Amino acid sequence: MTVYLDNNATTIVDPHVFEAMEPYFVQKYGNPNSLHAFASETHPGIKSAMEQIYAGINAKREDSVVITSCATESNNWVLKSIYFEYILTGKKNHIMISEVEHPSVIATAKWIESMGCKVTYLPINNEGIVEAKSVKEYITDKTALVSVMWANNETGAIFPVEEIAAICKENDVLFHTDSVQAIGKFPVDVQSFPVDYLTFSAHKFHGPKGVGALYVKKGKELMPLLHGGAQMGGYRSGTLNVPGIVGMGKAIESAVEALDFEMTNIRAMRDAFEDELLKIKDTFVVTPREKRTPNTILISFRGIEGESMLWDLNRAGIGASTGSACASEDLEANSVMEAIGAAEDLAHTAIRFSLSRYTTQEEIDYTLKTVHDAVKRLRGISSSYAYAPEGHESGLAAHH
Amino acid sequence: MGIDSLIGGTIWDEYSDKVTNLMNNPQNMGEITEEEANEMGAKLIVADFGAESCGDAVRLYWAVNPETDKIVSSKFKSFGCGTAIASSDTMAELCKDKTVDEAVKITNIDVELAMRDNPDTPAVPPQKMHCSVMAYDVIKKAAAQYKGVDMESFEEEVIVCECARVTLSTLQEVIRLNDLTTIEQITDYTKAGAFCKSCIRPGGHEEKEIYLEDLLSDYEKEKLAGKASLGNSDAPSGDFDTMTIVQRIKAVDKVIDDNIRAMLVADGGDMEILDIKENGENVDIYVRYLGACSGCASSGTDTLYAIENTLRDKLSQSIRVLPL
Shared-domain flag, residues B212 and B249: no
Which of B153, B169, B187 is at the close of a domain?
B153
Residue B155: the pLDDT is 62
* Cβ contacts from A onto B, under 8 A: 130
User: Residue B109 sits in which domain range?
Assistant: 11-153
Shared-domain flag, residues B205 and B219: yes
pLDDT tens over chain B, length 324 residues: 688 778 877 788 889 999 999 999 999 999 999 999 999 999 999 999 887 777 788 999 999 999 999 999 999 999 888 889 999 999 999 999 999 999 988 878 789 889 999 988 889 887 677 666 788 789 989 999 998 888 777 666 677 887 677 788 888 888 888 888 999 888 887 778 876 777 888 877 667 888 999 999 998 888 887 654 444 445 556 788 878 777 888 888 888 888 888 777 777 777 878 788 887 778 888 887 776 655 554 455 677 778 888 888 888 888 888 877
- A329 interaction partners in chain B (CB closer than 8 Å): 11, 127
Q: Does some domain include residue B86?
A: yes
Q: Is B56 on the interface with A (CB under 8 A)?
A: yes
pLDDT for A262 beyond 70: yes
Which of B98, B128, B153 is at the close of a domain?
B153
Residue A384: the pLDDT is 82
Locate the chain A residue with the closest alpha carbon to B207. Answer: A397
Torsion of CA A332, A333, A337, A343, to 10 degrees: -140
Contact in structure between A86 and A78 (CB atoms under 8 Å)? no
pLDDT, tens only, A45-63: 999 999 999 999 999 999 9
Secondary structure (3-state) at A284: strand
Tell me the backbone φ, ψ of residue A174, rounded to 5 degrees. Answer: -75, 150
pLDDT class of A331 with cuts at 50, 70, 90: very low
How far apart CA B114 and CA B166 sit, in angstroms, is 24
Q: What is the mean pLDDT of residues A291-297?
A: 97
Which of A304, A308, A344 lies nearest to residue B53, judging by beta carbons?
A344
Q: Is A287 on the interface with B (CB under 8 A)?
A: no
ipTM rounded to 2 decimals: 0.83
Shared-domain flag, residues B149 and B170: no
Shared-domain flag, residues B139 and B171: no
Residue B309: the pLDDT is 84
- Chain-centre distance of CA A358, in angstroms? 19
pLDDT for A254 beyond 60: yes
Q: Per CATH, which fold does A15-257 belong to?
A: Aspartate Aminotransferase; domain 2 (3.40.640)
Residue A335: the pLDDT is 63
Shared-domain flag, residues B60 and B89: yes
Contact in structure between B35 and B61 (CB atoms under 8 Å)? no
The catalytic position among B81, B95, B131, B161 is B131
Secondary structure (3-state) at B6: helix
> Distance of CA B98 to CAs B49, B68, B94, B143, B146, Å?
21, 10, 8, 12, 14
Q: Does some domain include residue B244?
A: yes
Shared-domain flag, residues B37 and B114: yes
> Rg of chain B over CA atoms, in angstroms?
21
Shared-domain flag, residues B45 and B95: yes
CATH of the domain at B293: 3.30.300.130
Contact in structure between A149 and A283 (CB atoms under 8 Å)? no
Please give, one letter per residue, the 3-state secondary structure of B132-161: HCCHHHHHHHHHHHHHCCCHHHCCCCCEEE
CATH of the domain at B68: 3.90.1010.10
pLDDT class of A329 with cuts at 50, 70, 90: very low
How far apart CA B191 and CA B188 sit, in angstroms, is 6
Q: Which range has the worst mean pLDDT, A264-278, A288-302, B5-19, B30-44?
A: B5-19
Of A130, A136, A144, A170, which Cα lies nearest the Cα of A80?
A144
pLDDT class of A398 with cuts at 50, 70, 90: very low
Q: Does some domain include residue B139?
A: yes
Shared-domain flag, residues B187 and B256: no
Q: Which CATH architecture has domain A259-379?
A: Alpha-Beta Complex (3.90)
Shared-domain flag, residues B164 and B115: no
How far apart CA B78 and CA B75 sit, in angstroms, is 10
Shared-domain flag, residues B22 and B128: yes
Q: Give the residue, B107 or A146, on which the prediction is more confident.
A: A146
Shared-domain flag, residues B182 and B202: yes
What is the percentage of chain A residues whose pLDDT exceeds 70?
92
How many domains, in total, are found in chain B?
3
Residue B78 to residue A397, Cβ atoms within 8 A = no
pLDDT, tens only, A24-46: 999 999 999 999 999 999 999 99
Shared-domain flag, residues B211 and B92: no
Query: Is B293 noted as a catalytic residue in this protein?
Result: no
Which of B175, B190, B224 is at the close of a domain?
B224
Q: Does some domain include residue B2?
A: no
Q: Could you tell me the residue ranges of all domains in chain A?
A: 15-257, 259-379
Residue B205 to residue A380, Cβ atoms within 8 A = no
Residue A50: the pLDDT is 98
